[in-house]
């Protein structure tokens, strides 16, 4: 932030550097940053701690590559993890180059005042790059250039179709399981033939579905997310001429967030970089949080082995956060074993203490967050867009939203339920997809009777059967069925009308612009008309969403000009997922998002809510007790904490409604891993002296902070209830936090209701013995058992 911004108008060239006032490129960089920016040839590994100016180094390095004449913008390939990061990097590089007034800087597409790299430099995600390359060359792999991209929902629909066609019962063999199995092998780059050689990866049924799935995807001329990478790799490995062309084009390659690359991405990078080895990867093993989707932390841990000549630069100075925050985050991540040796430090001021806050339930927790935010508005000059709230799961946003709304504080959600996840939007997109790609059976099934046109389930099933048995698309199957008089005259005429509708829309697509086409779809399908006759609030909202979609399409077409056609729009819809730049909404809003999405961002004030065992770390991680899963959760905690610049709040609730019933979870182990220094423990439930003993001497140097009117625990007090000893001090009538106590009536999701027989152990080891109605006696580890008060 403070170290940002490029300096203009410097004169004279550095001796080692290129001409034309290059101090702007090197100015204000610390020694390791400088080294990274000036190491241009050969393999380079940048271990960039959180907030160490990574993006700055990358953009300056790109500028340096261009300024030294090593490469023109289109000879640089920069891969980022999200589209947002790509845009950010592009913007900042362009600004820097424009400030340098480099020769050639004005030859690009220049919009307004800036130097634009759009269309010249390759900065985007692996998936987007794959899509772009495949658009160009996929005919080599026997697909059509108009291929569609299936998101996870469409992929699941396809798996369902296949699974049903093979006669699997959805109850016994949920398509979801097949889909996740398929995705898991595909992120490792494996296709059915590979799995045949590694039969431990799938059982016969899974393999059968996988094979048929691939066959059907091919016929539908559709690619899933995994395909975008796998086919790109296949293109390169099977067609050396293509590989050679791109090898010579991309003379310099950079990969950001390298710790989150999966094995296919790794192979693609290797193929491209193998000739010149001008490969720079940047990452931080402590921020690897995507192993569940195939990211392999080994890629970064063994980079030096893969490229023996590698130069390693460590960026360890953090410019973002206070010493307190860095100290605490470091203290937490130190508990991980899968790390490189890297120590984050900062020269920033000590700053305010971290507040750890106990609340009785998730509503109080949300109220606390909102109260603190109002207080910040009142007492400091913090503005809404400087505040972020992070949570582990999207479901947690609801309660927070309620509180924000009730206190009239503007907020925005990043990620989660996306605009184009809405039914009506997906319906219209379904039409658009089908127009472009008539073999897209998933879209066909989606819209054949939307809006309702009297084509029922039986008819659709019959069409699907024909499609399956003749291995033809459902559109073709429909035509065939009509010709062979499959259906009665009523159904036949409805089907004819539907096919004619599609034909006329395809006609339209050839003649009119993208925005006009989408208007035509809404129009000719009578989609909007039906909604208008409904005149319910829901229908009203849907109409508004359609309008919003129309606006998005118009905006897209306007921005992209020639490139703004149907295909590029659909591609963008499939690949851009962060619902981030929705107009000016970001202004004056508090931001809420999952911890995962927060990676790469920074905010002066950060709240991390729901710090409880079973939620964060997630239940999956705590249940499995797999140390690698816990370590990944811990990295997630580290990521979240290091987003904060000045203030950090971490909260937990004693009870929380999960799936409609109350659960009691102990505070997150990560809270226990915080240092004593610089952390203030607060509880909204009054002081409970017994808790204080456990935390020991401690004593923070900070005095108690005002806790929005709540009684405040003295710093040094343990927030971690020792349930057994705490029973007495809990006031069950005042707080909703029940403790296990002999005789307490409890309910278990599978065993029903019973009463507590015995309580032993403390904290995370607390065990509860319960006798149930049918006299069975069970002993639970309280932490894992989903016991609730009956």
Partner DNA sequence: CGTACCGACCTTTTT
Partner DNA sequence: GGTCGGTACG
230 binds DNA (CB under 7 A): no
Q: How far is the CB of 290 from DNA (least distance, A)?
A: 7
Pair 315, 33: CB distance under 8 Å:
yes
Q: How far is the CB of 105 from DNA (least distance, A)?
A: 29
Tokens read off for 759? 């309580």
453 binds DNA (CB under 7 A): yes
* Measured distance CA(490)–CA(274) in Å, rounded: 63
Catalytically annotated residue among 224, 256, 372, 602: 256
629 binds DNA (CB under 7 A): yes
Give the residue carrying structure tokens 């033809």.
Answer: 472
Nearer residue to DNA within complex by CB, 350 or 393:
393
Helical pair 225-238 and 126-137, crossing angle rounded to 10 deg: 60
Beta-carbon neighbour count of residue 533 at 10 Å?
9
Tokens read off for 657? 């409604």
Residue 603's beta-bridge partner residues?
644
Residue 405's beta-bridge partner residues?
none
Pair 194, 230: CB distance under 8 Å:
no
Binds DNA (CB under 7 A): choice among 83, 259, 468, 682: 83
Q: Alpha carbon 494 to chain centroid distance?
A: 42
Catalytically annotated residue among 33, 55, 265, 396: 55
* Measured distance CA(654)–CA(736) in Å, rounded: 8
151 binds DNA (CB under 7 A): yes
Helix (H), strand (E) at residue 434: helix 423-436
The span of 213-221, 277-285, 358-366, 570-578 binding DNA (CB under 7 A) equals: 570-578
Q: Which residues contact 633 (CB under 8 A, 6 or more apart)?
A: 616, 617, 618, 621, 670
Peptide bond into 617 cis (omega under 30): yes
Tokens read off for 150? 């299936």
452 binds DNA (CB under 7 A): yes
- Residues 506-545 contacting DNA, CB under 7 A: none
Residue 681's beta-bridge partner residues?
356
Catalytically annotated residue among 80, 93, 187, 287: 287
Q: How far is the CB of 747 from DNA (least distance, A)?
A: 13
Q: How far is the CB of 414 from DNA (least distance, A)?
A: 8
128 binds DNA (CB under 7 A): yes
In the residue annotation, 55 being an active-site residue is answered as yes
Pair 329, 63: CB distance under 8 Å:
no
Q: CA Rg, the chain, in Å?
A: 29
Which CA distances in Å does 534 have to 68, 208, 518?
A: 64, 45, 22
Pair 331, 15: CB distance under 8 Å:
no
626 binds DNA (CB under 7 A): no
Tokens read off for 155? 């992929």
Binds DNA (CB under 7 A): choice among 9, 349, 456, 706: 456
- Residues 272-311 contacting DNA, CB under 7 A: 289, 292-293
34 binds DNA (CB under 7 A): no
Binds DNA (CB under 7 A): choice among 458, 470, 551, 753: 458
In the residue annotation, 643 being an active-site residue is answered as yes
Q: What angle do CA 783, 651, 710 make, to 5 degrees?
A: 115
64 binds DNA (CB under 7 A): no
Give the residue carrying structure tokens 């819209």.
Answer: 447
Site string for DNA, 160-189 (x = CB under 7 A): ----------x-------------------
In the residue annotation, 396 being an active-site residue is answered as no
Q: How far is the CB of 361 from DNA (least distance, A)?
A: 13
577 binds DNA (CB under 7 A): yes
Site string for DNA, 410-429 (x = CB under 7 A): -----xx-------------
Residue 3: closest CA among 602, 605, 648: 602
102 binds DNA (CB under 7 A): no
* Measured distance CA(628)–CA(338) in Å, rounded: 8
Beta-carbon neighbour count of residue 675 at 10 Å?
17
Nearer residue to DNA within complex by CB, 152 or 248:
152
Structure letter (DSSP) for residue 618: B
Helix (H), strand (E) at residue 270: helix 263-273
Nearer residue to DNA within complex by CB, 263 or 459:
459
127 binds DNA (CB under 7 A): yes
Pair 775, 759: CB distance under 8 Å:
no
Helix and strand totals (H; E) in the chain = 32, 24
* Measured distance CA(161)–CA(630) in Å, rounded: 36
Structure letter (DSSP) for residue 320: S
Nearer residue to DNA within complex by CB, 203 or 626:
626
Which CA distances in Å does 741 have to 214, 461, 734, 766, 781?
A: 56, 57, 17, 12, 14
392 binds DNA (CB under 7 A): yes
In the residue annotation, 54 being an active-site residue is answered as yes
468 binds DNA (CB under 7 A): no
The span of 25-33, 122-130, 680-688, 779-787 binding DNA (CB under 7 A) equals: 122-130
Nearer residue to DNA within complex by CB, 27 or 620:
620
Give the residue carrying structure tokens 């909260």.
Answer: 651
In the residue annotation, 634 being an active-site residue is answered as no
Binds DNA (CB under 7 A): choice among 200, 457, 485, 510: 457
The span of 202-210, 591-599, 698-706, 770-778 binding DNA (CB under 7 A) equals: 591-599
Pair 617, 575: CB distance under 8 Å:
no
446 binds DNA (CB under 7 A): no
Q: How far is the CB of 761 from DNA (least distance, A)?
A: 26
Binds DNA (CB under 7 A): choice among 107, 109, 145, 152: 152
Count residues near DNA (CB under 7 A). 46
Structure letter (DSSP) for residue 315: E
The span of 75-83, 307-315, 353-361, 377-385 binding DNA (CB under 7 A) equals: 75-83
Binds DNA (CB under 7 A): choice among 596, 690, 694, 767: 596
594 binds DNA (CB under 7 A): yes
Residue 412: closest CA among 404, 422, 420: 404
Binds DNA (CB under 7 A): choice among 69, 103, 240, 454: 454
Catalytically annotated residue among 33, 54, 56, 396: 54
Nearer residue to DNA within complex by CB, 253 or 344:
253
The span of 366-374, 449-457, 514-522, 549-557 binding DNA (CB under 7 A) equals: 449-457
* Measured distance CA(65)–CA(76) in Å, rounded: 9
In the residue annotation, 257 being an active-site residue is answered as yes
Beta-carbon neighbour count of residue 518 at 10 Å?
24
Pair 630, 764: CB distance under 8 Å:
no
225 binds DNA (CB under 7 A): yes
Binds DNA (CB under 7 A): choice among 308, 660, 709, 743: 660
Q: How far is the CB of 456 from DNA (least distance, A)?
A: 3
Nearer residue to DNA within complex by CB, 525 or 618:
618
Q: Which residues are catalytic?
A: 54-55, 256-257, 287, 643
Q: Which residues bind DNA (CB under 7 A)?
A: 81-83, 125-128, 151-152, 170, 225, 289, 292-293, 392-395, 398, 415-416, 449, 452-459, 491, 575, 577-578, 593-594, 596-597, 618-621, 629, 658-660
């Amino acid at each position: 932030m403070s170290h940002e911004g490029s300096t203009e108008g410097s004169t004279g060239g550095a001796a080692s550097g290129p001409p034309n006032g290059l101090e702007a490129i090197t100015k204000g960089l610390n020694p390791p940053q400088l080294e990274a920016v000036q190491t241009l040839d050969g393999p380079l590994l940048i271990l960039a701690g959180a907030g160490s100016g990574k993006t700055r180094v990358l953009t300056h390095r790109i500028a340096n590559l261009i300024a030294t004449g090593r490469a023109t913008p289109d000879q640089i390939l920069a891969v980022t993890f999200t589209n947002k990061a790509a845009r950010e990097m592009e913007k900042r590089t362009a600004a820097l180059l424009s400030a340098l007034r480099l020769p050639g800087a004005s030859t690009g597409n220049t919009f307004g005042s800036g130097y634009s790299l759009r269309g010249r430099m390759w900065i985007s995600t692996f998936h987007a790059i794959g899509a772009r390359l495949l658009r160009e060359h996929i005919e080599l792999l026997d697909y059509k250039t108009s291929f569609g991209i299936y998101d996870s929902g469409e992929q699941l629909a396809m798996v369902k179709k296949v699974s049903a066609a093979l006669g699997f019962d959805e109850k016994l063999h949920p398509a979801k399981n097949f889909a996740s199995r398929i995705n898991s092998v595909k992120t490792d780059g494996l296709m059915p033939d590979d799995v045949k050689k590694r039969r431990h990866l799938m059982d016969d049924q899974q393999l059968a579905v996988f094979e048929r799935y691939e066959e059907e995807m091919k016929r539908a001329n559709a690619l899933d997310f995994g395909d975008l990478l796998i086919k790109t790799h296949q293109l390169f490995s099977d067609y050396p001429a293509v590989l050679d062309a791109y090898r010579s084009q991309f003379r310099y390659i950079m990969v950001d967030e390298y710790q989150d690359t999966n094995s296919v991405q790794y192979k693609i990078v290797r193929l491209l970089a193998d000739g010149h080895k001008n490969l720079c990867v940047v990452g931080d093993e402590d921020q690897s949080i995507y192993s569940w989707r195939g990211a392999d932390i080994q890629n970064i841990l063994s980079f030096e082995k893969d490229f023996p000549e590698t130069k390693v630069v460590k960026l360890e100075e953090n410019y973002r956060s206070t010493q307190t925050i860095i100290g605490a985050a470091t203290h937490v991540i130190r508990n991980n074993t899968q790390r490189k040796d890297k120590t984050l430090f900062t020269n920033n001021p000590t700053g305010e203490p971290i507040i750890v806050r106990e609340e009785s339930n998730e509503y109080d927790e949300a109220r606390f967050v909102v109260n603190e935010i109002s207080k910040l508005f009142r007492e400091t000059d913090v503005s809404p867009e400087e505040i972020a709230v992070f949570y582990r799961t999207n479901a947690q946003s609801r309660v927070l939203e309620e509180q924000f709304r009730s206190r009239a504080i503007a907020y925005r959600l990043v990620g989660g339920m996306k605009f184009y996840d809405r039914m009506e939007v997906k319906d219209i997109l379904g039409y658009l997809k089908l127009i472009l790609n008539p073999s897209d059976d998933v879209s066909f099934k989606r819209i054949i009777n939307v809006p309702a046109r009297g084509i029922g389930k039986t008819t659709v099933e019959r069409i699907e059967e024909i499609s399956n048995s003749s291995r033809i698309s459902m559109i073709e199957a429909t035509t065939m069925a009509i010709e062979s008089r499959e259906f009665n005259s009523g159904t036949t005429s409805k089907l004819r009308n539907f096919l004619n509708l599609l034909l006329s829309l395809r006609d339209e697509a050839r003649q009119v612009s993208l925005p006009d086409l989408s208007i035509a779809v809404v129009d000719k399908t009578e989609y909007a008309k039906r909604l208008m006759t409904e005149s319910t609030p829901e229908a009203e909202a849907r109409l508004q969403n359609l309008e919003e979609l129309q606006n998005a399409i118009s905006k897209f077409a306007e921005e992209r000009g020639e490139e703004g056609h149907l295909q590029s729009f659909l591609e963008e819809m499939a690949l851009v997922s962060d619902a981030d730049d929705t107009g000016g909404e970001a202004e004056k809003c508090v931001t809420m998002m999952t911890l995962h999405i927060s990676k790469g961002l920074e905010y002066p004030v950060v709240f991390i809510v729901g710090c409880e065992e079973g939620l964060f770390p997630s239940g999956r991680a705590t249940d499995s007790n797999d140390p690698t899963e816990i370590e990944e959760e811990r990295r997630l905690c580290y990521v979240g904490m290091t987003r904060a610049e000045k203030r950090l709040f971490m909260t937990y609730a004693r009870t929380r409604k999960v799936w409609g019933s109350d659960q009691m979870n102990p505070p997150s182990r990560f809270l226990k891993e915080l240092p004593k220094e610089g952390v203030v423990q607060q509880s909204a439930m009054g002081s409970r002296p017994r808790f204080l003993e456990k935390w020991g001497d401690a004593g923070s140097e900070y005095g108690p902070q005002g806790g929005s009117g709540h009684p405040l625990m003295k710093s040094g007090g343990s927030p971690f209830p020792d349930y057994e000893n705490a029973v007495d001090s809990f006031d069950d009538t005042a707080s909703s936090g029940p403790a296990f106590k002999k005789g307490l009536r409890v309910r278990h999701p599978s065993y029903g209701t019973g009463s507590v027989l015995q309580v032993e152990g403390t904290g995370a080891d607390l065990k509860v013995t319960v006798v149930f109605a049918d006299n069975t006696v069970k002993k639970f580890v309280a932490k894992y058992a989903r016991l609730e008060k009956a």
